[in-house]
Amino acid sequence: MAIHSRSSKDHLHTDVILGKISEYDIFMYYCPSFKKLGAKFCSELREDKTPSASIISWSGNLLYKDFGYPEHTFDCFSYVKFKFNVPFINALKIIDCDFNLNLNNKKEDNLFTMGHLGYSQIQPKYIEKQTIIQKKRRAWNKDDAKFWRKYLVSKKILNTFAVEPISYFWVNNNRFKCKSISYAFKFKNRYKIYSPYEEKNKWLSNTKKTDVQGYNQLPNKGERLIITSSLKDVMCLYAAGYNSIAMQSEMQIPDEKLINELKERFNTIEILYDNDFDKAPNPGQTMAKKICNLYGFENICLPNELGSKDPSDLVNKVGNFNELKNILNDKR
Model pLDDT for residues 229-258, shown as the tens digit of each residue: 999 999 999 999 999 999 988 878 888 999
Alpha helix (H) residue ranges in the chain: 14-18, 23-30, 76-84, 88-98, 142-149, 155-160, 231-240, 256-265, 283-295, 311-318, 322-330
Give bridge partners of residue 169 from the DSSP assignment: 135, 176
Q: Catalogue all structural domains in the chain, each as residue range(s) with its CATH number.
A: 14-107 (3.90.580), 133-205 (no CATH), 215-330 (3.40.1360.10)
Q: Using a CB cutoff of 8 Å and minimum separation of 24, what contacts does 256-264 make?
A: 258/212, 259/295, 262/225
269 pLDDT exceeds 60? Answer: yes
pLDDT of 286 reads 87
Q: pLDDT of 90-129, one tens digit each?
A: 889 888 888 878 787 654 444 344 433 333 333 333 333 4
For residue 173, count CB atoms less than 10 angstroms from its CB and return exposed for 0-12, middle for 13-18, buried for 19 or more: exposed
For 45, phi then psi, to 5°, come to: -100, -5
Cis peptide before 303 (omega within 30 of 0): no
Work out the angle between the directed axes of helices 23-30 and 76-84 (0-180°, nearest 10).
20
Contacts of 133 (CB under 8 A, 6+ apart): 169, 170, 171, 190, 191, 193, 204, 205, 206
pLDDT of 105 reads 62
Percent of the chain with pLDDT over 70: 87
Higher-confidence residue of 140 and 35: namely 140
Alpha-carbon distance 126 to 327, whole Å? 44
pLDDT of 319 reads 95
pTM of the model: 0.66
Mean pLDDT of 275-281: 80
Higher-confidence residue of 272 and 47: namely 272
pLDDT of 32 reads 82
Percent of the chain with pLDDT over 90: 49
Q: How confident is the model at residue 166 (pLDDT cuts 50, 70, 90)?
A: very high
Average pLDDT, the chain: 85
Mean pLDDT of 175-198: 91
pLDDT of 154 reads 96
Q: pLDDT of 35-94, one tens digit each?
A: 888 889 988 888 777 888 999 988 778 899 998 888 899 999 999 988 888 888 888 988
Helix (H, G, I), strand (E, B) or coil at 265: helix
Q: Do you know the residue count of the chain?
A: 332
Q: Are 217 and 226 in contact (CB under 8 A)?
A: no
pLDDT of 204 reads 83
Alpha-carbon distance 319 to 160, whole Å? 22
Mean pLDDT of 265-271: 97
Q: pLDDT of 281-295, one tens digit each?
A: 788 898 899 999 999
pLDDT of 128 reads 35
Mean pLDDT of 302-314: 93
Q: Are 64 and 74 in contact (CB under 8 A)?
A: yes
Q: How confident is the model at residue 216 (pLDDT cuts 50, 70, 90)?
A: very high
Higher-confidence residue of 329 and 4: namely 329
